[in-house]
Amino acid sequence: MLEIENLDAGYGSFQALFGISLEVRAGEAVAVIGPNGAGKTTLMRVISGLLPVRAGHCSMEGQS
């Protein structure tokens, strides 16, 4: 299971994500949609570990 709670993230002094929460259970499929600049890529970078979390929590199968 993927669990994201009150996630904040960004680049340098620019904050791209503000308080994102999401839970995806085993067997579920989820699409993240939105306009350019909405934070979709930033969210994927945080989930994959390429970008650090500023605040909140992101875990996959119980591991941060």
Q: What is the DSSP string of 1-54?
A: -EEEEEEEEEETTEEEEEEEEEEE-TT--------TTSSHHHHHHHHHTSS--S
Whole-number pLDDT of residue 3? 96
Q: What is the rounded distance in angstroms from the CA atom of residue 33 to the CA atom of residue 56? A: 21
pLDDT digits (tens, 9 = 90+) for 27-54: 999 999 999 999 999 999 999 999 999 9
pTM, 2 dp: 0.88
Q: How many CA atoms lie within 13 Å of 60's alpha carbon, on the beta-carbon side? A: 5
Question: Nearest-CA neighbor of 57 among 1, 5, 19?
Answer: 5
Q: How confident is the model at residue 62 (pLDDT cuts 50, 70, 90)?
A: confident
